[in-house]
Structure 1
Amino acid sequence: MENNRHAVLVTGASSGLGEATALGLANAGYTVYAGVRSEENAERLASTSPLIRPVILDLTDADSIRAVGKFLRDRTDGAGLHGLVNNAGTCVSAPLECLPIDDLRAELEVNLIGTVALTQELLPLLRTRTAVVPPAIPAGRIVNISSGIGRVAAPFLGAYAASQFAKEGVSDALRRELAPLTVSVSVIEPGAIMTPIWSKVAATARRVLHTAGDEVAGCYEGRFEAFVTNNENRARTSRTRPEGVADAVVHAMTARRPRTRYRVGPDAWAAAIAARLLPDRVLDAVVRRQFAAVGPTAARGAEQPR
């Protein structure tokens, strides 16, 4: 058993936002249990910091979630868990008319169901710290990584938007349920950031469209290709970095009164403001112009991320 008064579990820590968050928390002095899905990533992460402890975790596997819960109970030996960062996620991009229902289920299973299942498993550890923390300060802390898409649904990201809108709603309900138990719940809403997820999104998007029938594909192909390329370009040229998300998570883990929401990047702020102030039809027009910035011809010839 190690000193776990400042232990945090971060899911989806093998790359992108999760890896940056794990490193940011380790640099802030936390013992970080980094959830990954492969031994290869576990070995690589373990070499990045002496405070990072990789654990194999698959959010679609109930046995894996229970095993991680038992592992953390054994490791903390009654000290409890300081925080949980629900970062793991996947993104399916496709017109909803031709979105395979199995892909929709898989999206919700990781981004929503797995997040709730892991939170249920670890809440007893997060509550355990109430005995050692002054009442005015959150005992345990939950941070859910959402997205600006959780505020404004973009075309061709309906499945991802469904999962993120749901995560926002679950986070609100959970925050209100846990406030009397001094467990805080914060949401991080990043804007466009270039991470490995975007190359996976592009591959999945084109696979879905190419397996749709010609009649359905013909209704969407030009606009969909333009959207995929424009989305990649926005992420690639964004000045927002994974380290910005990591900084927000560290604040949520250390502040006496962590914020309920952290918006990272100007587009995340713009989405939040637009969702609050603009009528639906005006917002539709803004989104349509934004994602029509790249035409179909340019989209088909664009360079893909490496």
Structure 2
Amino acid sequence: MSGRTAYGRWGAGRLPAQGPVLVTGASSGLGRECALELEALGFQVLAGVRREEDGEKLLTESLHDRLRPVVVDVTDEASVRACAERVEREHGGLRGLVNNAGICVPGPLECLDADQFRRQLDVNVIGHLGVVRAHLPLLRRSRGRIVNVTSGLGKAAVPFLGAYSAAQFAKEALNDALRRELAPQGVRVCVVAPGAILTPIWGKVSEAGERALDGVPAAVAEPYRAAFRAFMAGNAQQAAASRTTPEDFARAVARALTDARPRTRYWVGADARRMGRLARLLPDPLLDRRFSGIAGPAAGPTGRRPR
């Protein structure tokens, strides 16, 4: 029996899975799994995709006729506004918003230009806030919920994923502020933070990693090259070996939307929980020591790295 049909009974501690829910970034990976899971549970799912063909493909996987694709680019205000207008026209309110759309820009911070860093923040932070702002009147009307997807890197930054970590830290801050601002209005806000899960995004990250040092002056790129390549290979291996599944993520989102008393944060996967625990308990010097091997051997007293 699949995860989408074995979620368990709804009890006194769970709200009914009904009403419209918008899931951004539903074309593939975690967003796709989440959209299909929520549809199976009983929600009317508006699956946010960037291309019509992605929506058509998703429709072929829908089994309950409760999923409708909606083309939306979270970085385009007009597109986001059109999405909100469609939700109001067709549903009049919104039971839940799952802010899942995102990208990962890997690379040493010294090697990323302003446009690359801006793109990371534009999609993962500014775009998320824009989607929230556009749909808040509908969520307020329904006393709905906002689920913001972050990761363990929203609590502890690692070398070579500095831009992505900065976006995740920012989303954690936005989530905290929104949770406190909207609580008096009856809108609940929480985080779902997954660890490494094997999805198509890892192929995109690996491809982006291959290009990360292209065009960077050799004097800038060379000190990072070997360690960065090893890091990217290790990242891919970690995802492939992960026992956490997209279904685990989708079930956590469902819990966040239906728990009568939702948690502020739902960790998904042992590695995500471990990262959160380390960030909370270890002082910075110990965290630095834990991540010290990623960026390569430390420089000696002359400033040169040992060979």
TM-score by length of 1: 0.89
Aligned length: 279
Cα offset for 1:40? Answer: 1.0
State yes or no: 1:164 paired with 2:168: yes
In structure 2, what is the equivalent of residue 190 of structure 1? 194
SS of the residue corresponding to residue 92 of structure 1 reads: coil
Query: Percent same amino acid among aligned pairs?
Result: 52
Alignment partners' CA distance in 2, 1:47 and 1:243: 19
Name the amino acid aligned to 1:97. Answer: E
Q: Displacement of 1:58 after TM fit?
A: 0.4
Deviation at 1:103, TM superposition (A): 0.8
Deviations 1:101-145 (A, max 9, x none): 10111110100001000100000001112xxxxxxxxx2000000
Contact 1:146/1:168 (<8 A) preserved: yes
Structure 1: tracts of 5 or more residues without a match: 130-138, 293-306
Secondary structure at the residue paired with 1:263? Answer: strand
What are the residue-to-residue correspondences of 1:144-183 with 2, within 5 Å?
Answer: 144-183=148-187
Q: Is the 8 A contact 2:228 2:295 kept in 1?
A: no
How is 1:73-88 mapped onto 2 (pairs within 5 angstroms)? 73-76=88-91, 78=92, 80-88=93-101
Counterpart-to-counterpart distance in 2, 1:66 and 1:121: 6
CA contact (8 A) 1:226 1:291 kept: no
- Offset of residue 210 of structure 1: 2.3
Give the distance between the partners of 1:290 and 1:234, measured in 2 at CA. Answer: 14
- Give, in angstroms, the shift of residue 291 of structure 1: 7.5
Q: CA deviation at 1:289?
A: 4.2
Deviation of 1:280 after TM superposition, in Å, equals 0.8
CA distance in 1, matches of 2:248, 2:186: 26
Does structure 1 retain, via aligned residues, the 8 Å contact 2:159–2:294? no
Q: Summarize deviations over 1:27-76 as a string: whole Å, max 9, x none.
A: 11001000001111110111222111000000111110111011111001
Moved more, 46-55 or 152-161: 46-55
- Which residue among 102, 109, 112 is the counterpart of 1:89? 102
Question: Could you say if the C-alpha distance between residues 197 and 72 of structure 1 is closer, same or farther in structure 2, counting changes exceeding 3 Å?
Answer: same
Q: Distance in 1 between matches of 2:109 and 2:140?
A: 40
Q: Aligned-pair distance for 1:206?
A: 1.9
Query: Are the structure 2 counterparts of residues 238 and 5 from structure 1 closer, same or farther at C-alpha, using a change threshold of 3 Å?
Result: closer
Deviation at 1:263, TM superposition (A): 0.4
Q: Does the alignment pair 1:42 with 2:55?
A: yes
Q: How does 1:98-117 map to 2 (within 5 A)?
A: 98-117=111-130
Give, in whole Å, the separation in 1 of the partners of 2:105 and 2:146.
25
Code of the aligned partner of 1:82: R
- Pair 1:54 & 2:58 matched: no
1:254 and 1:291, CA in 2 relative to 1: closer, same or farther beyond 3 A?
Answer: farther
Stretches of structure 2 lacking an aligned partner (at least 5 in a row): 1-16, 297-307
4-13 or 238-247: which moved more? 4-13
Tell me whether 1:63 sits opposite 2:58 in the alignment: no
Residue 266 of structure 1: aligned partner: 270
Q: Secondary structure at the match of 2:27?
A: coil
Name the structure 2 match of 1:133. none
**TM-score, structure 2 length as denominator?**
0.88
Q: Is the 8 A contact 1:127 1:183 kept in 2?
A: yes
Q: Which runs of 4+ in 1 moved over 3 A?
A: 289-292
Pair 192,14 (structure 1): closer, same or farther in 2 beyond 3 Å = same
